[in-house]
Amino acid sequence: METQVNEVRSASNKTGNAAPQDNQPPKKKTNVRFMVILAILVIGGSIFGISKYVYALHHEETDNAQIEANLSPVIPRVSGYVKSVRVKDNQQVQKGDTLIVLDDRDLQIKLEQAEAALAAAKANVGVAQANTEASQANIVTSRANVATVDAQIEAAKVNVWRATQDYERYANLIKDHSITQQQYEQALAAKQTAERQLQVLQEQKAYAAQQTKGVASQSNATARQIAAAEAAIKEKEAEVDNAKLNLSYTVITAPEAGNISKVYVQPGQYLQAGQSLFSIVLDNSVWVVANFKETQLDKMKVGQKVKVHVDAFPEKDLDAHVASFSPATGARFALLPPDNATGNFVKVVQRLPVRIEFDNPNDPVVKQLRAGLNVDVDVHLD
């Protein structure tokens, strides 16, 4: 029994002596794999950052860009009720195609009224011409009367001279009682009658000359009436042309070839002159308007190459170039532009619209572009 206890004590002593050796911390070993991965990450990140920095020195990018195209609004020039609509949404049209037809009955009546007024003006010219011809005939007649009176005056002067000569002879003879008193009185009466006839003829000549002047004045007045009537004809012709032009405006045609936008017009609807109905997106070309920050414009120039990435066609990037810069920032063209003089100034980075045009406008992808599509642009700085 004692022998077993001693063995147990010996074993416990050995165990107690060995315990302090097991509590000592193990030596740390270096993890080579971790260091390699860390080095790779640091080197890769450095290369990526340097490449991005170098890339940024030679490129300017923005996703604040859209496809733009020419839009031609369809606007009626005269008011009226819609008779028929000849187009549908998104329809392709050519220049001169009929889009909308307005009811033209009112304008047709106005045209007929203008044509009737023109006919009346032409008739007035005929009347004025007839009056002028009559006045000229009266002038000829009056001048002929004056000439006749002149001849009669000359004859009357001869009669006065002869009657005066006879009277003087009879006056000398009556002193010698060579003739009778009756003969003397007859010679005196003949002299006075001749003088009276001459006076009457002279008065008739004065009246005829005055009448000739009056007829001439009337002829001038009628000639002016012709000019006024001819001016009235020109005025009525202009009214007829205006009525015909307004009548032609009842047929609204496409100003250019392109695609129709959404059509909001229905038959029977009343349209006001100048009212915008819908638009035609023209077929001639599309371009990009990119709004770059003012801090990106330092090295940008007209003519620099551009890569355009269209969200709708992600598989292909399009070649383009910088065409022009807007003369003012987008905020200047806003409905309510900011006024920094009001005292509540907060500095905001402004954006300047830049026009970018495609190098190959006949590219099939470019032909499929529509106004308003979002794009990303990358400008290659020189």
Q: What confidence tens digit (pLDDT) does each residue in 96-139 have?
A: 999 999 999 999 999 999 999 998 888 887 777 666 666 666 66
Q: Are residues 91 and 149 in the same domain?
A: no
| Same domain, residue pair 233 and 112 | yes
Asked if the structure places residue 24 within a domain, the reply is no
Beta bridge partners of 259: 92, 281
Per-residue pLDDT at 146: 67
Instruction: Please give the radius of gyration of the chain, using alpha carbons only, rounded to the nearest integer.
Output: 57
DSSP class of 327: S
- Asked whether residue 382 falls in the same domain as residue 265, the answer is no
For the chain, helix, strand, coil in percent to 5 are 55, 20, 25
CATH of the domain at 147: 1.10.287.620
Domain co-membership, 98 together with 65: no
Strand partners, 291: 353
Q: Where a domain ends, among 232, 248, 264?
A: 248
Quick check: is 357 in a domain? yes
Tally of domains within the chain: 3
Domain contains 11: no
- Whether 332 maps to a domain, the answer reads yes
Residue 26 lies in a domain: no
Same domain, residue pair 313 and 355:
yes
- The verdict on 270 and 200 lying in the same domain is no
Query: Do 226 and 263 sit in the same domain of this protein?
Result: no
From the first residue on, what is the mean pLDDT of each consecutive set of 10 residues in the chain (382 residues)? 46 47 53 83 85 75 93 93 93 93 94 92 76 64 68 74 74 72 74 76 70 65 72 90 94 92 92 92 89 92 94 92 93 81 80 94 90 93 80
In a domain, 166, yes or no: yes
> How far is residue 246's CA from residue 97's CA, in Å, rounded to a whole number?
18
Indicate if 135 and 235 belong to the same structural domain. yes
Question: pLDDT at position 115, please?
Answer: 92
CATH of the domain at 86: 2.40.50.100
In a domain, 379, yes or no: yes
Kindly state whether residue 206 falls inside one of the protein's structural domains. Answer: yes
- Extract the tokens encoding 37: 């991965």
Q: Are residues 184 and 216 in the same domain?
A: yes
Q: Structural domain of residue 130, as residue ranges? A: 105-248
Check whether residue 112 and residue 242 sit in a common domain. Answer: yes
CATH number where 376 lies: 2.40.30.170
| Beta-bridge mates of residue 252 | 100
Cα(364)–Cα(178) distance, rounded to whole angstroms? Answer: 138
DSSP string, 281-302: EEEEEEEEEEEEEGGG-SS--T
The answer to whether residues 373 and 296 belong to one domain is: yes
| Claim to verify: residue 94 and residue 120 sit in the same structural domain | no
State how far the Cα of 35 lies from the Cα of 57, in Å rounded to an integer.
33
Q: Three-state SS across 163-223? A: HHHHHHHHHHHHHCCCCCHHHHHHHHHHHHHHHHHHHHHHHHHHHHHHHHHHHHHHHHHHH
